[in-house]
Amino acid sequence: MSKSYNAVELIRKKRQKESLSKEEIEFLIQEYTADRIPDYQMSAFLMATFLNGMNNDEASAFTKAMLYSGTVLDLSEIPGTKVDKHSTGGVGDKLSLILAPIVAACGVPVPMISGRGLGHSGGTLDKLESIPGFNVNLNLDDYRRVLAKHKMVLIGQTEEIAPADKRMYALRDVTATVECIPLIAGSIMSKKMAEGIDALVLDVKCGDGAFMKTVEDATLLAQTLVSIGESFGKQTIAFLTNMDQPLGYKIGNWLEVEESIDGLLGKGPDDIMEVTHVLAGTMIYLGKKASSIQEGIQKSKASIADGSAFAKFRDIVIEQGGDVRFIDHPENYPKSAHVSEFKADKDGYISKLDAFSFGIAGLELGAGRKKKEDRIDPTAGIVLEKKVGDRVSKGETIFRFYTNRPEALDTVHELIAKAVTISMIGPKQPQMVSHKIDKNGIMPFNL
């Protein structure tokens, strides 16, 4: 660190829509990481950035400052093309838990560094930690060892990997500063470029339950992520995927592990499995174990059919200290103390389920955090009996809420009542994967 700046001045500059230099951005990130800029000043900077954005130079300086706030790993001693996937965040999005074992079972090493729940969206780490004993806090030697042994490893950010993002991610979660393209891009790409990968697949969610609500915004985010990845010499492919309604039938940490086990056993919901196979197939292709994405998708499906993906998941649970008895017998997992049923108020077809409200409802039930220090309840969440397109009858139970906070149930019922639309005509099923974006541009995606 060479020059020193006044943090208040830098916040004021951003507030006044002036752009910051590379050195000023580096100063903010380095000083924040070193605890010399407090959370309240960083919160003000994040909000000013949220409101006024960053130009391309600022965004690139921001990503690099976050990346070099820690170690950039070199995994070249581990054979194979290392590929990871990252999602921009959704509701019921448990894809990482299914696709990492698929891809590893197909021979491609997957070094995966994931995040916790953010805003209304769930996080892979919180889901993994709902498996009793599962340790996401491996040190970097163990990270390498487990990856070399199993071709996969699932950890959270250590103090060494993009520590600036580790702290800022938690702060953004509770300061309403998540849905901002340069902040999301810096957060995702600093982690991903640090973890030692050769190639990356991005699942850019688009719709009511995503941080990007429109195809235009999601495309812009995808293009930003792809261009950062390629600028670091990593082959990067992004997909725009639908996030208007929750993915699958289960929301909440352990509930989503349960649904992932179903997916790995060949009993997963269609929407989940469609997106999983596209992303996994692309990872297998980028990992040079298939000559096309289509062939990768076939291999992905075969790893579910022959049991190798599930076996890989069991192996990693055991290796990382998780109690595999709950993977083999999920029915034995402790239940939340309260279950409340939500019933349809008329006959018809479900035509809309606002994913964002389901995410917030999950949070109210205890599946997410409202403050940094909040503890997650692994058993809390929502089971959907019906989804968009399903026929329902008045009085029929369509959702079940699981919680240890009975005082939250009234709020959750009110929230969900506004999130469901029942119509007389059945809607069209949404296309789950709409576009592919890579260094050559954007293309509609058809299976």
Closest residue to bound ligand URA by CB: 187
Per-residue tokens: 92: 């019921």
Considering only CA atoms, which of 193, 186, 203, 187 is closest in space to residue 234? 193
Among the candidate windows 47-55, 184-192, 252-260, 409-417, which touches ligand URA by CB under 6 A?
Answer: 184-192
Of 409 and 437, nearer to ligand URA (C-beta) is: 437
361 near 384, Cβ under 8 Å? no
Least separation in angstroms between CB 268 and ligand URA: 23
Is 21 a residue of the active site?
A: no
Catalytic residue among 191, 234, 289, 299: 191
- Helices H, strands E: what count in the chain? 17, 14
Of 129 and 262, nearer to ligand URA (C-beta) is: 129
Among the candidate windows 136-144, 181-189, 218-226, 313-321, which touches ligand URA by CB under 6 A?
Answer: 181-189
Is 96 a residue of the active site?
A: no
Catalytic residue among 165, 173, 198, 271: 165
95 forms part of the interface with ligand URA (CB under 6 A): no
275 near 203, Cβ under 8 Å? yes
Least separation in angstroms between CB 88 and ligand URA: 5
Is 413 a residue of the active site?
A: no
Of 89 and 322, nearer to ligand URA (C-beta) is: 89
Distance between CA 29 and CA 37 in Å, rounded?
9
Least separation in angstroms between CB 341 and ligand URA: 32
User: Considering CB under 6 A, how many residues would be counted as binding ligand URA?
Assistant: 9
Strand, helix or coil for residue 336: coil
Query: Could you give the maximum distance between any two Cα atoms of the chain, in Å?
Result: 68
Per-residue tokens: 368: 């997410």
Is 394 a residue of the active site?
A: no
Strand, helix or coil for residue 288: coil
Among the candidate windows 183-191, 220-228, 247-255, 305-313, which touches ligand URA by CB under 6 A?
Answer: 183-191
Least separation in angstroms between CB 180 and ligand URA: 8
203 near 86, Cβ under 8 Å? yes
Q: Which of residues 100-119 bind ligand URA (CB under 6 A)?
A: 115, 118
Give the chain's length: 447
Distance between CA 419 and CA 316 in Å, rounded?
37
Distance between CA 279 and CA 433 in Å, rounded?
10
88 forms part of the interface with ligand URA (CB under 6 A): yes
Per-residue tokens: 47: 């909000």
Query: Residue written as tokens 């099923």?
Result: 429
- Binding test (CB under 6 A) with ligand URA, winner from 184, 201, 243, 422: 184
Q: 119-158 mask for ligand URA (x: CB under 6 A)?
A: ----------------------------------------
Distance between CA 344 and CA 260 in Å, rounded?
27
66 forms part of the interface with ligand URA (CB under 6 A): no
Is 191 a residue of the active site?
A: yes
- Binding test (CB under 6 A) with ligand URA, winner from 65, 82, 89, 256: 89
Torsion angles phi and psi, residue 136, rounded to 5: -95, 0
Considering only CA atoms, which of 446, 445, 447, 436 is closest in space to residue 219? 436
In the complex, which residues of this chain contact ligand URA (CB under 6 A)?
88-89, 115, 118, 169, 178, 184, 187-188
Give catalytic residue positions.
86, 165, 172, 187, 191
